[in-house]
Structure 1
């Protein structure tokens, strides 16, 4: 006898991941802005980070399915490598007037997006 396992559809999981990432990124932006009063607040405005969050979830989803199709066992390596690569532009902002607090906040936002995508799509890997 087999039992059917009900799983939440991928679009619903991604929707929850997107909302969760947007909420957490908003909180990060608020905390970083408070800690970095007087800083340039690069990328911490909702008009900047909310569309970037949507784009990050979309690109992360596309990347996840592309890697999963070609080499599913590579996901545990590819995800952290891609996350680290997204931090390079953040670090470069240090030379453009952003403070360390600002940059760490942006890096945390990228981590939030990566974690939300992985948690939403992990059930798709067998």
Structure 2
């Protein structure tokens, strides 16, 4: 008979916190790079006051969504996660009509990808620990 030990809550919280911090750090690098390349653009969403709170809120909402789906429809994650990411890119692309540069839009799209990657990284590990990881 095999038993699985539960991961302590503090370890899980630390893992989620580090993932959110890593996403914020990567988004800062992307924001600085996109701002430097955004010559004459509107710079929408490229200020730390805009993208840092959005990174944390997006991460938290992503984790909540992931947790809900993982408990009820774990196999659906393969379709819903990429679909949700593509949906977040629609407003980014629409910024081109408001005067945003390609650097601005690509920067925002990369920021969304970073947040989604952080959510998936911690979510998959948690799913594996619970013994419910979807198999390929």
Offset at residue 108 of structure 1 (A): 0.2
How many residues are treated as equivalent by the alignment? 126
Whole-angstrom distance in 2 between the partners of 1:47 and 1:64: 26
Per-residue Cα deviation, 1:6-54 (whole angstroms, up to 9, x for no partner): 8573221110111000000000011111112332111000000000001
Aligned to 2:27: 25
Q: What is the root-mean-square deviation of aligned Cα atoms in Å?
A: 1.8
Whole-angstrom distance in 2 between the partners of 1:32 and 1:76: 30
Offset at residue 100 of structure 1 (A): 1.1
Q: Normalising by structure 1, report the TM-score.
A: 0.91
The reply on whether 1:73 has 2:75 as its aligned counterpart is: yes
Q: Whose RCO is larger (CA < 8 A, sep 6+)?
A: 1
Which consecutive unaligned segments of at least 5 residues does structure 2 have?
none
Q: Paired residue for 2:45, among 26, 43, 46?
A: 43
Q: How does 1:92-111 map to 2 (within 5 A)?
A: 92-111=94-113
Which consecutive unaligned segments of at least 5 residues does structure 1 have?
none
Offset at residue 121 of structure 1 (A): 1.5
Q: Paired residue for 1:61, among 44, 60, 63?
A: 63
Between 34-43 and 5-14, report the one with greater CA deviation.
Answer: 5-14
Q: Which runs of 4+ in 1 moved over 4 A?
A: 1-8
- Conserved in 2, the CA contact under 8 Å of 1:10 and 1:121? no
